[in-house]
Amino acid sequence: METQIHDFINFLKYIEQLSTNTVDAYQRDLIQYKDYLEQQNLTFDNVTHVQLSQFLRDNEKNSSSIARMASSLRRFYLFLKVNRVVSADPTQFLKVKSSSHRLPKYITLSEFESLISFNLEKPEDYLDRALIEILYGSGLRATECIELKEDHYFPKERMLRVLGKGQKTRVVPLSRASIQALNDYFTNARSIWLTKSSSYLFINRKTQPLSRHYLYNMLKRRSQQAGLAKNVSPHILRHSFASELINHGADLRVIQELLGHSDVSTTQIYTHIDSQAKKKEYNNFHPGQYIKHKEEGEGEEK
């Protein structure tokens, strides 16, 4: 069984290219699972979903940790099944109770498209669209968004370097729609307002960095303009980002890294959306990759 775990860990490292912390978390979970199977004289191939459920109940203390372990095992068995190491997947019938956390509010894709459908007539419109695309397309917190610096943006790589809670840095992908909105913002707003030097990515007419107050008020105003039943906030867009990824099958730990959560149990709250087989992550699943706006073009330069 150690061989199968070793092969899976190498797959995560070199094919999926997950971070060291994420790979280590998978390895800890699977070693714990292997030890349990050996104690019960079981193997990966002959364990039943009933025995698997018993393992989770016996070894995990709360619903969040059970969900985390279940996520690890589902991905591991998908790997084993694809490589024909096992004939059946006991996680297929595994039922895990949701965490008792209050479910996050989010908007649907159609609501997001309504939110973003305002006309681009003045510089502030280009600024607002770029902000909304970034919040929804990369799952940033409000403070993370307004504190972005210009040199945190890598258009050719389609990446942002984000300084999160606890001064922890992470790198997040950008959707094609976000790249387009940022290019439009640079051309039609930032370049016009930049009368003095500023290192901030997002600025106002006075070349000052944006405030959280601006962000929240802007989203409230745009929500009302779109006729939405609820006022959208930066956190609702962040929740929507995570919910869309989970709804389309993205791995829980990858979402954890994208959101900058220190503990996967925090990310687990988003699994109220159906979690399916996990194969590919952000680029294949996030709808921002495919949304077309009135102004086409994916230009890669600022």
**Active-site annotation, residues:** 141, 165, 235, 238, 261, 270
Is residue 13 exposed (0-12), middle (13-18) or buried (19+ Cβ within 10 Å)? middle
Q: Could you tell me the strand order of the sheet in which 159-163 lies? A: 153-154, 159-163, 169-173
The pair of structure tokens assigned to 272 is 């109220």
Query: What is the distance, to the nearest Å, from the Cα of residue 264 to the centroid of all Cα atoms in its chain?
Result: 12
Query: What is the distance, to the nearest Å, from the Cα of residue 170 to the centroid of all Cα atoms in its chain?
Result: 12
91: left (phi over 0), alpha (psi -120 to 50) or beta: alpha
Cα gap 56→32, rounded to integer Å: 11
Cα gap 15→8, rounded to integer Å: 10
The pair of structure tokens assigned to 96 is 């895990």
CB 140 within 8 A of CB 172: yes
- Measured between alpha carbons, how far is residue 230 from residues 128, 220, 225 in Å? 18, 9, 11
The length of the chain is: 302
